[in-house]
Copies of this chain bind each other. A is one copy, B any other.
Amino acid sequence: MMDTRTKLAIEAGFLFQQKGYHGVGISEVLERAGVPKGSLYHHFPNGKADLALAAAEIAATEVLRIIDASFDQAGNYANGVTTFCYKLAKYFDIHEGKIGCPVSATLLGGPDNAAFRDALSGIFARWMGRIADYAMQFGQSQQEAEQSAKRLFLSLEGSWTLARARGDSNVIRQLPGLVC
């Protein structure tokens, strides 16, 4: 069975992504995870803030895995982008359109903390770096690749927001036609 610490971080992640850092109460996380309060403060001595950072880290890694899965078998860059967007749209639908960017809702809504901002910008850099790597692998120059990655990332972040506002994942699915 899954680690208590991991289970807490994952359940907290889902909730944070839907309602933001301040919109989720500790007790709600505990109830969903089926874990008592004592355990939380054993695994996350700094409480809610630690929990949010761990949740964001897990979600960030999951997105990296989706990037890999999308580009590894793609014949070219545009193809990889399309697969990537479709996978994210599916993820969006699974959670009933209630979910935004898995990390920005968690960390941007949190306390005005340097640690939170650093974690967030680090995660974004990792995502863009990974996408740029694949773009280069498919023949783009480093400069081109970084620009492609940035363009994709920015639009994607916007698509997540718009999709949530509309309750419709099609914005995400139509993204490849817009940025490639």
- Chain A residues with CB under 8 Å of chain B are 18-23, 98, 100-101, 104-105, 107-109, 112, 117, 120-121, 124, 147, 150-151, 153-159, 161-162, 164-167, 171, 175, 178-179
* A157 and B162 in contact, given A20-B23, A112-B98 (Cβ under 8 angstroms): yes
| Nearest CB in chain B: distance from A114 CB, A | 9
Residues of B within 8 Å of A104, CB to CB, are 161, 165
Q: Can you tell how many copies of this chain the complex includes?
A: 2
Secondary structure at the A interface, as helix, strand, loop or mixed, is helix
Residues of B within 8 Å of A157, CB to CB, are 157-158, 161-162
Nearest B-chain residue to A150, judged by Cβ:
B178
In the bound complex, do residue A166 and residue B22 qualify as a contact, i.e. CB atoms below 8 Å apart? Answer: no
* A20 and B18 in contact, given A100-B108, A101-B161 (Cβ under 8 angstroms): no
Nearest B-chain residue to A128, judged by Cβ:
B162
In the bound complex, do residue B22 and residue A108 qualify as a contact, i.e. CB atoms below 8 Å apart? Answer: no
Residues of B within 8 Å of A21, CB to CB, are 20, 23
| Nearest CB in chain B: distance from A12 CB, A | 15
Q: How far is the CA of A151 from the CA of B151 in the complex (A)?
A: 10
**Can you list 28 residue pairs at the A/B interface with Cβ under 8 Å?**
A19-B22, A19-B112, A20-B109, A21-B23, A22-B22, A22-B23, A100-B108, A101-B161, A104-B161, A105-B108, A117-B164, A117-B167, A120-B165, A121-B162, A121-B166, A124-B162, A124-B165, A147-B178, A153-B162, A154-B154, A154-B155, A154-B158, A154-B159, A154-B171, A154-B178, A155-B155, A157-B157, A157-B161
